[in-house]
Structure 1
C-alpha cells in the first residue's frame, strides 16, 4: 500500500523500533479509511467527518514516529499536541500548486486568529484527505511554522487563556513602566512632535502678544503700584534676587538698571501719594463739578504710572504672587456682587438665604476704597489679566514640551559626573524654561540653537553645586579643572605622574596653592567602605578616636587613685576630707578654699592650714614610698600631665 511504502522509505521510521503488529494495524486503519472515503456516493457530511478523522490519525501517526513519545501514552489529545510540535527531518514531497496556495491561505488565517482548527484544514483541503502522504507534508509544514492545530471544542478555552496572558503581559508592562520613571518620561516625551522654524516663531509671537496684553492691563491702573514699589525697594536693598523678578532681556546692564531704579522708586512714591490724594478728593467732593475735576486728575496720574512701570521691567510671573495675595478678597467681592444682583432680582430669596444686604454693600464699598476702582471693573480687569496669563503660559508650555528631546540629548553627555540621569534632565529642563523666557525670535536663529547654551549652563552649574559631598565654589571648580588638564598633559609628556612642583611650574602658580587645589580634588570616602576582600572590616575601624581615653592611662590613674585613698586613710578624717575636696579626688571637681571653708564652717585661712599640715604628712617617707612607682611611670609616659595630687605632694 502507498502508506506502508511511504513509512518504510522514511528514514524517521527506520529509527523507530515499533512493534510490527501495531504498525500493520495502523496501516490497515489508514487503508480502511481511504477505502471508505473513496466511495462514489458518499454524503458531504460523512466525507468531512472521515477527512477530519484522517487528519487526526495522520497527526497521531507523526507523533508515533517521534522516538521521545511512548506508545502507551499516545492518546488523541496528546497526539494532537505532539503533532503541533513535531519537526520533519526528511524533505517533504512537493505539493500541487493548488494545494500550496490553499496552504498559504491557511497560514495567513492562522496569523490572523493565532491558531487553526482541524475543521479549517478539512474545509480548505478536502482532496488531500485521500492522500495521507500529502496530508503528512501539510501537517509537517504547520508544525515547522509552529502553528497550533486545535479541535473545535478547544477554541474557546484557548482564546480565554490567550486573553488572560495578554492582560497579564499588559499589566506587567504597565507596572514596569511605572517602576521605571525614565522610561515613562521618555515615552510621553516622544508623543510631542518637533517644531519647525515657522511654528517656533508663531509660538513666540503668541507669548509676546499675551504678555504684552497682560502687562498693559497691569500698567493701566494703580492696582499694583504698592506691590511694585515694595519689589523695587527690596531690589535696591539687595533683599530680592535680580534674576527672579527682573526681565533682563529688556535692560542693557545691571549697573545702569540699578542707577535708574532709584529714580523710578522716588518718582513712584511721589506719584502714589498724588493718586491717593486725588482718590480722597473724589470721595470727599461736595458737588459734581469738583468730583469730575478730581476724577480727571486721578486718571491723569494713573496714566503717568505706565512709563515708570515699564522702566522697572518686572517679569509677568511676579504678579502671580500679587494675584494669589488678593485672591481671597476677589472671591469675597465676586460673592457679594452675586448676592447684590440676586437681591435686585428677588429680595425674598436673598432674605431666606440669610444674607445681610447692608453688610454686602458695606464690604463692596470697603473693597472699592482699598483698590481705588469699582468692584465690577476690578473683577473684569482681573479676569482679562488671568486670561492673558493663561495664554502666555500655554504657549510657553508648548515650546518647552516640543524641545524636551534636546535636554535628553545634552544630559546624556554629562552622565557619571555625580548626578543621576533624572536630576540632569530636571536641571536641563529648568535651563530650557529660562531659554523660553529669554528667546528673541527676531534675531533669526532657531530656538534649539539658543536653548542649547542655557541647558548646558544649567546642567554644568548643578554638577558643580551638587555633585560633590563637600561643595566647592564654582570659581575653584574651574581652577581645579585646569589643574587636572595640566596633570594629564604632563603625564603624557613625562611618562609619570607629575609632582606638585612640576604642575606649579607649568601653570605659573605658587606651590602651596597647587597643593591645596590637589588636596581639594580628593573625593571623600565613606567610613563604612569595606577594606580588603572581606566585608567584616570597615575603613572607619582604622581611624583613631582621639576623644576616647587610653585604657592604659585609665587603669594607671584608677590604681593611683586607690593608692592615694589608701595613703589618705592614715590621716585624720578632717584632713582627709579637706584634701579630697580641694583636689577633687572623689568627684573630679576641685573646690576653692572658700568653698571648702563654707562646708566645714570655718575660715579659708583655717582650711589652708589644715591642707598644709595634711600635705606635710603625705610627704613623709613612709607614705610617699607607696607612690614612687606611679611617679616613675608618670615621668616615662609621653608628655602626660601629672595628676594634681602628685604635683601638690611635690613628687
Structure 2
C-alpha cells in the first residue's frame, strides 16, 4: 500500500516536472516589467514571473534530497520562498531577480527541513507559539513595511519577549539578508553589494549568484567577524541565529557579539570593499 502511494506521488511529481519544462526563461527587460507589475498587485504578472523560475527551484531543491524530506516537498517549500522573494524584490537594485530569490528559496527549504525534525519533538504549546508568531510577523510586516521587532511581536501576542525569541530560535530565524542592520539603520547586507553604475548583464550571462558576492564580502573580514555575520544572517546555516545564541557559542556576552556584528558591518560599508566587488557586475 505504501509502495503504491509513493509510486503515485512520484508520477505526480514527474508530471509536474514535465509541465514546468514548458516555461521559458525571461529576458531581462521582460523580467523587469513583470516585477514592476507585481509591485502593483498584478496577479497575472506574478504568475508569469513565478512560472518562469520554477525549474530553478527544482535545481536548488535537488541539492537537499535524501536528507529526510521527499524532493516534491522540498520543491513545494522552495516555491513558497520563490513567491516571497517576488513580493519583496527591489527592482532598483542592480542584480537579477533569481540572484535574490535563491536565498529565499534556500531559506524556505532549510527552515522546512529544520522544523520537520524539531517540531516532532516539541510540546503542543510550543508549536502553537511558533505558529502564532509566524502569523503575527506576516501581519505586522505588512502594516509596518518592515520586519517587526521581538518586542512588537510580544506586545501584539501578549506574551513574553523571551518566548518570541525562543520561537525564532526553534523555528524560522529572525534575520534575513534584506532585514535592517539595526533599528537605527535602514541598510541591509544586500545593500552593501549594490552598484548603481553597473550595466545590465545580457541574457547569455546567468553570471554569478548573489551568494558569490556576499562570500567575497565576508572573506574581506576577520575570521570571527565573518563567522558572526554568517550565523546572524543564516548564511550557509540551517537558520539565522540570535545574538544570544551566538554569544553562547563563543562564550561571550550578547553585547560583545553585538559589537563584533556592528564593527563587521561598518567594515563592509567601507568604499574599498564595495569597489572590489564591481568587477563582478562590470564583467
Q: Under a length normalisation based on structure 2, what TM-score does the superposition of the two structures give?
A: 0.40
TM-score with structure 1 length normalisation? 0.18
Does 1 or 2 have the higher relative contact order (CA < 8 Å, sep 6+)?
Answer: 2
Mark the structure with the bigger radius of gyration: 1
